[in-house]
A and B are shown apart, each in its own frame.
Chain A
Amino acid sequence: MTALSWLIPAALALGLIGLLGFLWALRSGQFDDLEGAAYRILDDDLPPKDANDDRDPKKQG
């Protein structure tokens, strides 16, 4: 019985964390483009905007 008094709140809290995590993902647009996201992981990050100089070899191609 004493175990239940913290196990149940813990289970609920874990579930709630999951829900909040999903809400955060939804709000930040993680579900807006499901197809594109699959390709993005294959892509290198774009160089930071301020550092765009012409020496970057990727831009020559």
Chain B
Amino acid sequence: MALAVDFEPGSTPEGKVPDNQRASAGERSSARIILAIENMNCGGCMRKIERVLDETAGIDTVRANLSAKRVTVEFNPRQTDTEGVIAILSDAGFRAADLAHNDLDDHARADRDLLLRLAVAGFAAMNIMLLSVSVWAGLASDMDHELRVMFHWLSALIALPTVAYSGQPFFRSALTALKAWRLNMDVPISLALLLAAGMSLTQTIRGTEHVYFDASVSLIFFLLIGRYLDQSLRSRAKGAAQNLLGLKSGWATVRNEDGSSERLPARAILPGMRILVATGERIPADGRIVSGTTDIDEQLITGETLPRTATKDAAVYAGTLSLTAPIEIEATAADDDTLLSEIARLMETAEQNKGRYVRLADKAAALYAPLVHALGLITFLAWMFLGAGWETALITAISVLIITCPCALALAVPAVQVAATSRLFKHGVLMTSADGLERLSEIDTIVLDKTGTLTRGEPQLTNSGEISNETLAAAARLAAASRHPYARALVNEAKIRNLPIQPAQNVSETPGSGLLLDNADGTQERLGSATWCGVPRPTEQSTEARASLWYRSGKHKPVAFHFVDKLRSDAAATIAKANAAGLEVILLSGDRCSAVADAAEAAGITKWYGEQRPDQKIAHLEQLKAEGRRVLMVGDGLNDAPALATAHASLSPSSAAEVSQIASDGIIQGPHLAPVIETLAVARKTRRMSLQNFAIAAAYNAICIPLAMAGFVTPLIATIAMSASSILVTSNALRLTNTPLELS
């Protein structure tokens, strides 16, 4: 937050901080960027951001979007650049990151397209209803035949273009399904729409009463409302997920061949570029170390809390942290022998094996469509058999198809999904996959990763009782100079005890070993590994074997510090809840067995496996699947990504690696594990309420189908019945928004 405190965008030295936007902007006088702002939460923040940027020289227009937590900025590339804008926001207390444009626009365009079709359908439905009500009223009184026919023609004029335009999402989806020899909900919908419109047109031409334009257009209107809400909520969740990822990916200092260096966004890095990584910086791309030795925190990749020492030619991965010394790396394309390419390969197989999940609504459609079509056929044959003539028989058969038209059925699931997704969104769970909730409702086993998922992913001192304030303060003086997780934990502990920390000068750090302080009086203080502090290698049994860090001042006896990666505060309670609900919880971790055993014991998990490689995790999941289990995988590391893709459903914390977030069905925000249980509870409730809605729809059909088959259905009855059933299932779904839920 404190970077570039005296930053003056107007005075940015030209050429020193070139920007990719400038290159892409070419000769144009303004560049446009979209920034994600992490902590823009209220109208005040929005105003502050717009003010502070508006007052900056070189910035032409600023427009903040509070719902999306984004700001669109247009600036003059000659006066400032993306990084400059981010720095100004950072001074004002906002964390910002720029986002790639293309996929953002895609979401917005899809939303708008649907809203447009919805608006047209709404306009048409209202106007046709106006005409229909007159016709219905006229049937009871004195409307003459010519006028009624004219009203029908007017309705046709409005309805036919509307069905052709607003019905497209349904037609397209139905065609795709039919091409693959499958039935989905859109097949009966499309059929009902086309039949209703087609029959109404012929009836209008012939001048009879059975005209269903109002029914077909209000059907489109209702269904589009459901679809639009579903889509806009999901793109909102996806947008929030993109913001999270954007805020995580950073900038890279790239060294050019002539020795000059420039800052580029991480996503602009190409293979072969030389990148300087400062101490404590996240490595922006996969690569090999060209010079320097450092300790690398690979927690996100391997799940291992302890850093690995890496030197020249070692492979490093994007997202890992360089802890102890600056290094220079060369960015590489994906190599065949790296961990990353292995994970990519496993991901690919996992996605292939996953197969197509058949959604609840489509299952219902597969049952429903043949049934309804058979009923239509029976009606036609029965009326023919009773000697009613083929025309009356056909009209009655078609009104059966229209009255059973799956309005309530097609809204049954989307309405509940919308209510559930928005409820979870409020609780910080972003559901990004369309059928994720349905798969989550079938879960009977939870598989957790340890580091970063069950635990916080940062070590904490466990034997603080054995360590005196003086020793801790002295050790913290050295530790303050390092970014090693143990050193940070030590400084944290000192802060908790309110000890004054005066960072010592002349501290040198040796990657992989520890810190050394040369005092003025010639004595030495050391903080680091056992060997570094001259401690004899302890035997396996002694408690010292598990000491993680040593401190030695001069010739004094070395002091051991023990660390453990503490569980999330509600981990044990969450596991207990899951167990009480009859879910089995399994811990699969890439970390050392001893660490995994400790964590499992503390969290109350009886089944655990340590030192699991990504392919072993997959094997475990496959085995569970073979046993007939439906597994929910919760993980954050890159090494979990293939497992996340393999599992029946998956969630990942917002701190997870990018690949893992993309591979999972949802993202959990915040420091707690409890949202996992909330998500499962909501998913199950969603399923129950979807089934309830199906029951309502079936009851409606049970009343209407006999009426239609007997030939009593008029356009008025058809419209009222359909609208009423739609409103009923929608209001049933809305109950999900606020009711408190328990996982049972």
Contact = CB atoms under 8 A, between A and B. Distances in A.
B43 A46 contact: no
A33 B315 CA distance: 44
Contacts of A36: 43, 46, 64-67
Interface of B: 42-44, 46-47, 50-51, 54-55, 60, 64-68, 108, 112, 115-116, 119-120, 123, 126-127, 130, 147, 154, 158
Cβ-closest 7 pairs across A and B: A39-B43, A36-B66, A33-B65, A19-B123, A35-B67, A35-B66, A33-B67
A16 B66 CA distance: 31
A13 to B, nearest CB: 11
B127 A12 contact: yes
Q: Is the interface of B mostly helix, strand, loop or mixed?
A: helix
A40 B44 CA distance: 10
B73 to A, nearest CB: 14
A22 B68 CA distance: 22
Contacts of A11: 127, 130
Given A26-B119, A43-B47, A32 B65 contact: yes
A22 B123 CA distance: 10
B68 A26 contact: no
A43 B54 contact: no
A6 to B, nearest CB: 14
Nearest to A27: B112
B154 A8 contact: yes
A31 to B, nearest CB: 7
Given A11-B127, A33-B65, A26 B46 contact: no
A42 B119 contact: no
Contacts of A49: 54, 60
Contact of A31 (B46, B115, B126, B158): B115
A47 B475 CA distance: 55
A12 to B, nearest CB: 6
Contact of B123 (A4, A18, A26, A59): A18
B99 to A, nearest CB: 15
25 contacts: A8-B154, A12-B127, A12-B158, A15-B127, A16-B123, A19-B123, A23-B116, A26-B115, A26-B116, A31-B115, A32-B108, A33-B67, A33-B68, A35-B66, A36-B43, A36-B64, A36-B65, A36-B67, A39-B46, A42-B43, A43-B43, A46-B51, A49-B54, A49-B60, A59-B55
Contact of A15 (B43, B64, B115, B126): B126
Given A8-B154, A59-B55, A39 B42 contact: yes
A47 B123 CA distance: 39
Given A42-B43, A46-B51, A23 B119 contact: yes
A19 B119 contact: yes
Contacts of B112: 26
Given A4-B147, A35-B67, A36-B43, 4 more contacts: A15-B127, A33-B66, A35-B66, A46-B50
Nearest to A36: B66
Contacts of B66: 33, 35-36, 39
Interface in A20-34: 22-23, 26, 31-34
A19 B120 CA distance: 7
B116 A15 contact: no
A42 B158 CA distance: 41
A52 B112 CA distance: 36
Query: In the complex, which of the residues B115, B116, B127 has the most CB atoms of chain A within 10 Å of its own CB atom?
Result: B127
Contacts of B54: 46, 49
Query: In the complex, which of the residues B42, B67, B115 has the most CB atoms of chain A within 10 Å of its own CB atom?
Result: B67
Nearest to A49: B54
Contact of A39 (B47, B51, B60, B126): B47
